Structure 1
Amino acid sequence: MEQTDKKATEESGRMPLNAGDTGYGSVAGPGLSGTMNGSESAPLLIPEPEPEPFQQWQPLTKEELEVAAGGPGWRKVRLHLVLLFWLTWVAMLTSSIAIIVISPRPVVTPLKWWQKSLFYQLQPDLPIEQQANGSGGINVLCKQLPYLRSLGIGALILEGLFDKKASPLRFNATGERIGTLPQIQHLFAECNKEGIKVVLNICEVDLLGPRDEAGNADETSNLSAIVHHTLRFWLEQGAAGFAICDTDPVYSEKTLLEWKDVFKEFSSEEEERIIVVKQTSDVLPPLKISSQSNVTLVDVVLRSILPSSQHPLSAKEVADAIETHLQTREDSWHYWTVGGKAPHDLKNLLLVLMMTLPGSPVVQYDEDIDQTQNASLKVNTNKLTDIDPDEGRKKKKHRLALALFTALSRSRAREEALLFGNFTFLPFNSSTNSSSSNSTLPSPSSPPILAFLRSWGCVHFLILLNAGPELHALDPAWAPSLPKAGVFVSSTGMDRLGSTSLETLELRPHEAIVIKLFDAGSYS
């Protein structure tokens, strides 16, 4: 052992300092010897290994793909997945179609032009009360036609064109105070340009001439042929129809059948001529058409909401008349007018009612929406140096009436529920609400709140009417099946905007409100 250690010591003493990887000095790199000469000739930077030669990409073969995809079994799995996807898609499509077919949906009833039109009833001489020339009524009306069309009016019922005691020979001539035949022909031409129909009111005009004691017309005078000639004359001018009363002698099966034969010569699918009957009695006398039950002798029945009265009706009488019509409403298509005398405070309420009832409204001439009245009011107001309170209130009244009429007309034109939706009368429970702690219940003489619903599919319009002079709040337990949320469409004051809740809604005195209801989270 001692000899071995001694020998190793001697060898280490003879080892050079620069002895490669066995000494203390430069570390020999790859390919370098451990000698001094080899160390000095070695490169200082180690070269990077050369990249492998580039191999061009080539697609896998069918066998290689099958191996990579797991073999032929994967093909069957993919086919089954694709088949399952298409079967599921077809099943979903079939189920959707079945749900659509089975689900109840409203049936769109094709409406005639007179069912979609808003009627405006006036006398052509009404707008010329301030005109110096008595024959300017027709010309003034012609200038207002674009304005009336912008309000949504689609048909005019012209009154006062014919003398009620005139014979059929003078049926195609008018009095001097209204205008001449060329003026009326000009009116028809202008109405045709604006797309407005014209219906001539011949109610209470004696068309059949003298009659005997039994009420029969003198057949020897050949008055029937004269009347038919007169009807053709006005139909050729462009008249869309005629309005008669149920008390007129012409309101009979025989006469109306003859009129219908004349109308067929001038009628088409889009330009059908109509017969309007104004109902003056409580019950419309029926026509005996058993032999021709498929013939409609009367196209339009014009009914009054309020009964005729010599004195203005009270708010309670107005509410009772409205409630009677709402509860006994028939399924036939009706045309509504106010008819009787109502308090001025209920004027806008009755307009809301007419525009939302099933059927079509016939609006009587109203100076609040007359263009000439608004223009003169604007001029008079501008001439005032100081603001006249009366003129200011009058101007505000005109502006409110015009805004309400326009809003209701546009809503009825674009909302199917208001045009031909289902009707539901809603019995109502209400409570008087007041800021005072001494609030009392409504008196027995106070008119109740009236409400009805117009529905089409999932769209519901709620119409609330408060004809009384008291403030009313809705009972939270009233109509629990109705959605509680809604948005204001219009109101008599035109000051209700945005969303609302039936649980917190209060009706002001003499107020009518139209609300479009929607379920929570729905904005349809």
Structure 2
Amino acid sequence: MTLKVEGDPGYGSVSAGGRFIDVDSSESLPLLIPDIQRPVWKPLSREELEKCAGGPEWKKFRSRLALCFWIGWLMMLGAAIAIIIQSPRMESPSLHWWQRDVFYRLQPALFVDADSEGVSRISMVSERLPYLKSLGVGAVILEGLFQHDVSPPNLTEIDQSLGTLPHFTQLITESHKAGVRVMLDLCELDLFEQELGNGTDVWSSPSEYIQYSLRYWLEHGVSGFGICDTDAAFSTKTLMKWNLLMQEFNSQDDERILMVRQTGNSLPELNVSNTAVNGSLVELVIKSLIPPSHHPLSPAEVAEAMEASLQMPESHWPSWTVGGKVPWELQRATLVLIMTLPGTPIIRYGDEVNPIQDLDQLNHPLALFHSLSQSRAREEALHFGRFTFLSFNASMSGLNSTSAPPLAFLRSWGCIHFLVLFNLGCEPRTLDPDWAPSLPEDGVFVTSTGLDRFGPVSLRSLKMQPHEAIVIKLFESDNS
């Protein structure tokens, strides 16, 4: 559209260069000058893209980029492997079978329900082996197998009231099937009071007859023998002969051992100078956790005995058994103690059963015993971890001088910690928040005497029930 204006012919306009433009010629120009048209952007076609991507420059760039990626990935992988290899770590020690297994002390004479149809007490022990294996027991110590009231005792003949040699042979066969070893206890037999005569005159000395008797039972498949430190056989000279005999039957997968039951506060030292004997003369030392007594101890006496044992140097610790009589309300707590201490736990027949429970449960795995044995076998900290006794201060809530004090210790392996707590008194206890500031505050329940503790727990809010023992696996608050 153009607009023609009539006016002075001398009227003009100035051009962009400062010169005047004739009005007549400008009247034909459009008033709205359109913008300068710019080139429109258009995407490359498929053919153009393939041409650019297939160029030599792009191929070099892509190959170099892929090479840099894989080199960087391999470098990070190598650095991670180097860090793992060079970082310090705890190496699990190589343990012998008697250091790994749970031992079970059993007197066949206690099975008084043997009938008259040829079922001997030893046969009843054979029937219980699968049950003991289900609980986690790895070795059975048979006590009272020989007549100790006969002088001299016949060490190659079983007490006829318990069974016969074929019954014992069947017991060894069943033990191999169940994976449970059998050991013989020779305590209180007066081994060296053998009178030469009555069929033993072929032996030049009692020592020679004892060597023959031990060999006799080793050939039948027993895994070792136990004596008391009060026996005449507990001497360097005698035990050295026994040790050499054991080595004749030892193999890489089946080692025979000697164990001694400590009756006093300390065990006489045995000096071994003979190079033919490898290691110690006695592999296993058994000490009573609770001192023997003729009457059940009170909770305060049990707590005092436990505290004295827990403060003993760890390097001097033997394997543990209960020993003295414990009140039934503390029986489960002592079971937790023995199964969580360093060393080999040796359980006495009946210790895994609470007297107030139905005795029919003997035919089924008991929950607490099974839980403890499984945790001990699975957790390195409970199996061979370090031990730390933890003492309570006077600010423990509700603590008084007349009640049994609470007890606690720590089992640690690497960054794994297991806290074991005991409240042997008849009153509930609440942990003092400042009791052990170095311990992690959070954890998870592993087991307890009441089998009623589950899930996560905070030590600041933990309240222990009377006669209760608790096992807690601790972890840092920012860890899982």
- The answer, yes or no, to whether TM exceeds 0.5 is yes
1:209 CA drift (Å)? 2.5
Equivalent in the alignment of 1:250: 233
Which residue identity lines up with residue 145 of structure 1 in the other structure? L
Superposition map of 1:35-114 within 5 A:
68=52, 77-78=61-62, 81-114=65-98
Which residue of the partner structure matches residue 20 of structure 1? none
For 1:354 and 1:451, locate their aligned partners in 2 and report how far apart those are by CA, in whole Å. Answer: 13
What CA distance in whole angstroms lies between the structure 1 residues aligned with 2:466 and 2:434? Answer: 22
TM-superposed CA distance for 1:244, in Å, is 0.5
* Letter paired with 2:380: E
- The structure-2 alpha-carbon separation of the partners of 1:367 and 1:471, relative to structure 1 and needing over 3 Å to count, comes to closer
Ranges in structure 2 where 5+ consecutive residues have no aligned partner = 1-44, 196-200
The residue identity in structure 1 corresponding to 2:388 is T
Task: Single out whichever of 234-243 and 67-76 deviates more from structure 2.
Answer: 67-76
Aligned to 2:21: none
| Cα distance, 1:79 vs structure 2 | 5.7
Match of 2:193 in 1: 209
Match of 1:496 in 2: 453
Match of 1:227 among 210, 219, 224: 210
Q: Which residue, 358, 367, 375 being the options, matches 1:395?
A: 358
Cα pair 1:432 1:471 within 8 Å, conserved: no
Alignment pair present for 1:311 and 2:311? no
Residues 1:78 and 1:479: Cα distance change in structure 2 (over 3 Å): farther
Pick closer, same or farther for the CA change 1:166–1:104 going to 2, 3 Å: farther
Is it true that 1:463 corresponds to 2:420 in the alignment? yes
- 350-359 vs 457-466, which deviates more? 457-466
Determine helix, strand or coil for the equivalent of 1:338: strand
User: How far is 1:270 from its partner?
Assistant: 1.3
Question: What secondary structure is seen at the aligned counterpart in 2 of 1:176?
Answer: coil
Counterpart in the other structure of 1:122: 106
Q: Could you tell me how far 1:206 is from its partner in structure 2?
A: 2.0
- CA 1:133 to 1:220, structure 2 compared with 1: closer, same or farther past 3 Å? closer
* Among 349, 366, 374, the residue aligned to 1:410: 374
Query: Within the alignment, does 1:195 sit opposite 2:159 as a pair?
Result: no
Report the counterpart of residue 438 of structure 2 in structure 1.
481
Report the more deviating stretch, 483-492 or 79-88: 79-88
Once the two structures are overlaid, the 10-residue window that deviates more, 164-173 or 469-478, is: 164-173
Tell me, yes or no, if structure 1 residue 148 matches structure 2 residue 112.
Answer: no
1:278 counterpart residue number: 261
| Number of corresponding residues | 429
For the 8 Å contact 2:335–2:352, the answer to whether it is kept is no
User: Partners of 2:232 and 2:368 in 1: how far apart?
Assistant: 39
1:337 counterpart letter in structure 2: T
CA distances 1:183-218 after superposition (whole Å, capped 9, x unpaired): 11111111111111000000121222359xxxxxx9
**Residue in structure 2 matched with residue 297 of structure 1 by the alignment:** 281
Structure 1: gaps (5+ residues): 1-56, 212-217, 374-392, 434-440
- In the alignment, the residues of structure 2 paired with residue 345 and residue 71 of structure 1 have an alpha-carbon distance, to the nearest angstrom, of 87
Report the aligned-residue RMSD: 3.2
Equivalent pair of 1:348/1:401 in contact (CA under 8 Å): no
Report percent identity of matched pairs.
Answer: 49
- Which residue is equivalent to 1:174? 158
- Structure 1 position 147, deviation (Å): 1.4
Q: TM-score w.r.t. structure 2 length?
A: 0.81
SS in 2 for 1:304: strand
Q: Which deviates more from structure 2 when the two are superposed, residues 352-361 or residues 220-229?
A: 220-229
- Kindly provide the CA deviation profile for residues 449-485 of structure 1, in whole angstroms up to 9, marking residues without a partner as x: 2111112233221110111122111111222232222
Change beyond 3 A, Cα 1:224–1:135: farther
- Distance change in 2, residues 1:472/1:70 (3 Å): same
The one-letter code matched in structure 1 to 2:477 is A
Instruction: Tell me which amino acid in the other structure corresponds to 2:433.
Output: P
What is the distance in 2 between the residues matched to 1:493 and 1:241? 36
**What is aligned with 1:31?**
none
After superposition, the Cα gap between the structure-2 partners of 1:119 and 1:367, relative to the gap in structure 1 and judged at 3 Å, is closer
SS in 2 for 1:331: helix
1:419 Cα deviation from its structure 2 partner: 1.1
TM-score w.r.t. length of structure 1: 0.74
Partner Cα separation in structure 2 for residue 257 and residue 168 of structure 1: 23
Partner of 1:424: 388
Q: In 2, are the aligned partners of 1:165 and 1:206 still within 8 Å (CA)?
A: no
Residue 358 of structure 1: CA displacement?
A: 0.8
**Distance change in 2, residues 1:300/1:103 (3 Å):** same
CA distance in 2, matches of 1:287, 1:230: 23
Report deviation, 1:59: 9.4
One-letter amino acid matched to 1:286: E
User: 1:501 is aligned with what amino acid?
Assistant: S
Partner Cα separation in structure 2 for residue 396 and residue 499 of structure 1: 33
1:79, 1:326 → 2: CA distance? 67
Tell me, what secondary structure is at the counterpart of 1:115?
Answer: helix
Report deviation, 1:432: 5.9
1:245 & 1:402 partners in 2: Cα distance? 31
Q: Which residue of 2 aligns with 1:383?
A: none
* Code of the aligned partner of 1:277: V
Q: Provide closer, same or farther for how the CA distance between residues 448 and 368 of structure 1 changes in structure 2, counting only shifts above 3 A.
A: closer
Change (3 A) 1:173 1:59: farther
Instruction: Quote the residue 1:53 is aligned against.
Output: none
| Structure 2 Cα separation of the partners of residues 413 and 190 of structure 1 | 23
Q: Distance in 2 between matches of 1:220 and 1:192?
A: 33
Evaluate the alpha carbon distance shift between residue 397 and residue 358 of structure 1 in structure 2; reply closer, same or farther with a 3 A threshold: farther
SS of 1:352 mapped into structure 2: helix
Query: What's the offset of the Cα at 1:87?
Result: 4.1
Determine helix, strand or coil for the equivalent of 1:513: strand
Tell me, yes or no, if the aligned pair for 1:483 and 1:518 is still in contact at 8 Å.
Answer: yes
SS at match of 1:455: strand
SS in 1 for 2:314: coil
